[in-house]
Structure 1
Amino acid sequence: MIPSRRALLTGAGASLIAAPLVAPVAAQDRNALPLALNGAWRQGGYAFGRTAPRALIFVDGDALTTASAAGLFVIGFDRDAAASVQIEALADGRSARRTLDIAPYAFPSTTVNGLPPSTVEPSDPALLARIQQEIALKTEGFASRIDADDFKSGFIWPLESYRVSSAWGAQRILNGTPARPHYGIDLAAPQGSVIRAPADGRIAFVRPDMHFEGGLTLIDHGQGLITCYLHQSRLNVEQGQRVRRGDPLGRVGMTGRATGPHLCWRMKWRDRNLDPSLMVGGRAPETLA
């Protein structure tokens, strides 16, 4: 169970890249922590923060993460995030609190036809059992929590040349059947194009033959920020391997639920789905002043 701040204390439109928000600390306010924030404050977006090293970070009253040894942290806003979010940093009896306005976003609708029926509405008992096993494997990968702030320098695109063939967050109609929103951004590219790590991290999961995702890789960038790379035709990394920005991860393919060669690029922060493209070019606050 995630503790609330109260329980802890008593027991113990466009991309909307936000300008840095820096909280000055008044000399007489000894209980205030320094806190700087920037990012994309919209549904599917994120905030990078800098505060005291190892400060506990609360989001709407729940303790969700801890700042790194350098005082850096990240939080994410899901596709259906509320209109505002409260962020609080707490360390050594001192705190800082900020409320961010989260912009709504009009997500498109996309239709995909020609998919194999077993990838849209599977019914075979053996296949359903396989899918459940793969869900358990993915859940373990998404539970990775390395103590790192590899997100701090932001992200680059994982492909050098691509066409966005499906926008992030789109409501999907698959073979005429309404499906859950698409929590990835599809980058169409020639079969075999090299996929590169967009930021430093550690490989949390890799498998070549997932039913829906095909060749799948997960990278842990620290504090529960995980990026995902689907439909690969070739995998170049191993679980537990450390990767640096620009390192080859694999090759574009059309394995799993796909009708053409492309990379589906996804991002999760804990249980929240984020648009990874919003982090391209972003950087965590470099100073507190």
Structure 2
Amino acid sequence: MSERFDFTGDELAPAYRAAVDAIEAGDLVVMPTDTVYGIAADAFKADAVQRLLDAKGRGRDVPPPVLISVVESLDALATDIPDSGRKLCEEFWPGPLTVICHAQTSLMWDLGETQGTVALRVPNHENTRDLLSRTGPLAVSSANASGKPAALDVYDAEEQLGDAVAVYLDGGEVAGGLPSTIVDLTGDTPRVVRIGALSVAQLRAIVPEVTVDPEADPSAQTDDEPAEQPAQQPDETPAEASDDKPAAEPGDKPAEVAAEQAEPTPSPVEASNQDVAKKTEPDTRPADRGHDS
């Protein structure tokens, strides 16, 4: 049976508690972001990620992006990030930018057929970022059945996903509507693979060398998710033409909630990095072996 919680006022402790409990149990949570509503699962629980894909009617060939609470968590999940990519993240995070990076091979997760990459985003939604600081990284896809428009309010999400989701967080109607812009950072220069809320001109104002995939059609997809990733070619860096949330499309919480907790809540940076550290293991594989999903 699903539960719905208000996610807009000052009394957010019940919503946080229910969402964290659901994530820890391997269940699904729907939450607002700055673009669209997202359906979330623990990124480090393979069965939970599969439950997310099943709820949407998606296959493993379209793995969900991962939302994080702070830009400082980027290096805990990704590697070989070019300086140009860092500039984009520092400028547009929190915000509607999803970046595709080489995934850290030591991470104990299975997001699907990622070809050794991961799509990451920091959502510009304070309450959702605060939730992420409590749960750690979440696999988040747009809250809709595959092929249907992404939900812009919790009631649309409920109608499409029903009891497949344990907890719905009602943050009102989201103002964004457009999916995040997706930039592939696995090559020599940043490459736009989907044009969304951020324009190419905005990206090039920060990194002039940004290129655009010929197939980066903003009307090609209706939800905030990366498209299917091309297979990795020998002797080439893995790349994907990307999903957010909710971010792909699918993730910032008020500090006053901490006072209601029995123990002090670590800062977003500490919480996110501690959570990632618990779910990693030393990488003992050969250096030329990618992270198979």
TM over 0.5: no
TM-score when scaled to structure 1? 0.28
Larger Rg: 1
